[in-house]
Structure 1
Amino acid sequence: MDLVAVVDLISSFEDWKVIFDEDAEERAKFAESWLVGQTDEEKVIILARNVDLPAMAAFMGTPEFAERARPYQSGVTLYGLSEMAPPA
């Protein structure tokens, strides 16, 4: 499944990105690719391709992940994506 995550920042994007990048090896275990961009001072958008949702949930659901993320983000909203045919 492909998904978009909207992250609510409580730190700078640069500080948040350091923590995000530290998890690259673990994230590679449950998604094919990641594209990250800051939308404004308070939001980050992440596009993840071919995500194994149970594996991602197991990673993000640990107390260790919550503790590491707490100083940088206040929440994450996930949206599933599906391919559409072009308009006729």
Structure 2
Amino acid sequence: MQTCSRCNAQSADSAVICPNCGADLRELSATAMSLRRMRQSSRVLTIRLVVPDNACPACQAVEGTYPKETVPTLPVKGCSCPHGCTCFYEPMLSEIYP
């Protein structure tokens, strides 16, 4: 499931447009917004794509740590998890405190 950052409506992983407000979920889903903030932060060195143990093969194939510019987008293309893609981003920071 994806969550729209504008109206908080949830929609299927395959949705591109929010059915409630019409927002482009490729850019305005909560996950996409989170990734954008991580990429803009100078404290984030790399981004780890965390995949649950029970995830589908498509999700397991993308697990790992990536440079900020090359991390795959979520939901994972080809995900066949029964409840939708459950992967998430984890920033790898250069420092924990300012």
Whether the TM-score (by the shorter chain) exceeds 0.5 is no
Greater helix proportion: 1
Point out which structure has higher relative CO (alpha carbons under 8 A, 6+ apart): 1
Greater strand proportion: 1
